């Protein structure tokens, strides 16, 4: 069985790491560069950096912060936020990221996925997908863009199929309803998407305990779990999460665990 990955998410606004609940009430929690270094030294498998206001402000990601983070870590690093063109993708990769995450701008212009996959390879293109439960949609989940501000007419399952067909090599699936609540992931939507696509799916939104992580990696069929609040506030460490997963029989990489 392949090892499951633990990924820490750094939501960045105005150059500072921030955290909210259901995309609202964000508070400043620290310097993303220093936090990235700490998580790297703590044994994290990957880091995700989201410039959370770039899309709504119609601008690209802050490359200077990306460069600083990339200098501090030696694990895969994914960056997203307002990326709408091939040139912006290239700039993010040149700044030190291994993967580029497209979300709102890909919904507006799906061809950016095709272009990115053709230019840099499927493994470099990550679809970030924020979803909200909605019985009006065929899958029961609606795609929402602009950092949770703008509902779309796209069904989550339909969009996952289209994006992977276009070349997205991974999906980071975030439940807006669960985001920041620390009450657990939405295993239902994670399972729906994971079983329907052939690319890795990263579960995001709601992690509060190591058992929540274990549940989504098994019941939700996720290939990786993204965590934020539970490690940002010091409730648990990456090592705590990985040791728990090992104890319940979920394979994880233990190299680098202090």
Q: Is 179 a catalytic residue?
A: no
Note whether 43 and 258 are within 8 A (CB): yes
Question: Catalytic: which of 11, 51, 146, 179?
Answer: 11
What is the mean pLDDT of the segment spanning 147-151? Answer: 88
pLDDT at 58 over 90: no
Residues 6+ apart with CB under 8 A from 171: 126, 127, 129, 160, 163, 164, 193, 197, 199, 200, 201, 202
User: Could you report the per-residue pLDDT of 201-222, keeping only the tens digit for each?
Assistant: 999 999 999 999 999 999 989 9
Give me the DSSP letters along 151-192.
Answer: EEEEEHHHHHHHHHHHT--EEEEEETTTTT--S---HHHHHH
What's the fold here for domain 5-128+156-247? TIM Barrel (3.20.20)
Q: Which of 18-22, 61-65, 106-110 has the lowest mean pLDDT?
A: 18-22
Domain boundaries, the chain: 5-128+156-247
pLDDT at 137 over 60: yes
Global pTM reads 0.92
Distance CA 196, CA 188 (A): 13
Q: Is 45 a catalytic residue?
A: no
User: Could you report the per-residue pLDDT of 150-197, keeping only the tens digit for each?
Assistant: 999 999 999 999 999 999 999 999 999 998 889 999 999 999 999 999
Distance CA 109, CA 55 (A): 13
Q: What is the pLDDT of residue 19?
A: 60
Question: Catalytic: which of 45, 51, 130, 186?
Answer: 130
Q: Residue 6 CB: number of other CB atoms within 10 A?
A: 27
């Amino acid at each position: 069985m392949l090892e499951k990955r633990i990924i820490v998410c750094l939501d960045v606004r105005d150059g500072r790491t921030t955290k909210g609940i259901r995309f609202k009430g964000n508070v400043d929690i620290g310097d993303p560069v220093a936090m990235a270094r700490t998580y790297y030294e703590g044994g994290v498998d990957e880091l995700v950096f989201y410039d959370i206001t770039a899309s709504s402000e119609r601008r690209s990601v802050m490359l200077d912060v990306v460069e600083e983070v990339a200098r501090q870590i030696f694990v895969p690093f994914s960056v997203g936020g307002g990326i709408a063109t091939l040139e912006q993708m290239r700039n993010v990769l040149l700044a030190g990221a291994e993967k580029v995450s497209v979300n709102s701008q890909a919904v507006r212009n799906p061809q950016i996925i095709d272009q990115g996959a053709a230019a840099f390879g499927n493994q470099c293109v990550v679809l970030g997908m924020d979803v909200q439960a909605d019985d009006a949609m065929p899958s029961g989940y609606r795609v929402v863009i602009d950092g949770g501000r703008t509902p779309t007419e796209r069904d989550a399952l339909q969009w996952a199929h289209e994006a992977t067909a276009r070349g997205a090599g991974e999906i980071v699936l975030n439940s807006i309803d669960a985001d920041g609540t620390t009450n657990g992931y939405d295993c239902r939507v994670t399972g729906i998407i994971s079983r329907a696509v052939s690319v890795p799916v990263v579960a995001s939104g709601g992690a509060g305990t190591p058992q929540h992580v274990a549940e989504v990696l098994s019941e939700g069929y996720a290939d990786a779990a993204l965590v934020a609040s539970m490690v940002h506030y010091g409730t648990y460490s990456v090592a705590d999460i990985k040791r728990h997963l090992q104890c319940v029989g979920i394979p994880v990489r233990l190299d680098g665990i202090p």
